[in-house]
Amino acid sequence: MDIEEIKAKIKTNQYVYTHHAEIERRVDELKFSEIEEALLNGEILEQYPDTGRGESCLIVGFAGDLPIHIVCGWRGDKVALITVYIPRLPKFIDPWTRREK
């Protein structure tokens, strides 16, 4: 996936939230505007060529000082926000580094 293409889709409101992303957004009390901000200043941290549902990627971005991870994929010509969360221990040491198993 290409970060500039994702950003263009976000800017033109060509994206959808999956049910899972909505649940996780609420768990971390993230606002839609915070997620958009993180996507628009984000960078791709990990690429997933095909997880069985097509290609996807993990984006790390910030809403102010708040780090947010967003996993994105495609649903037709729209970007699908598959999950969103605040990266933290035990899975992440910092926004860019997974904790070793």
**Alpha-carbon distance 51 to 88, whole Å?**
23
Asked if residue 97 belongs to a domain, the reply is no
Asked if residue 25 belongs to a domain, the reply is yes
In the chain, the number of structural domains is: 1
Asked if residue 95 belongs to a domain, the reply is no
Supply the CATH number for residue 34's domain.
Answer: 3.30.2310
Sequence-distant (6+) residues with CB within 8 A of 96 are 45, 60
* pTM listed for this prediction: 0.92
Concatenated DSSP letters for 19-45?
A: HHHHHHHHHTT--HHHHHHHHHT-EEE
Asked if residue 99 belongs to a domain, the reply is no
Q: Taking the chain (101 residues) in consecutive chunks of 10 residues, what is each chunk's mean pLDDT?
A: 96 96 96 98 94 88 98 96 94 88 73
**Confidence (pLDDT) at 54:** 87
Domain span at 42: 3-88
Task: Identify whether the C-beta of residue 30 lies closer than 8 Å to the C-beta of residue 84.
Answer: yes
Q: What are phi and psi of 60, to 5 degrees?
A: -115, 130
Asked if residue 96 belongs to a domain, the reply is no
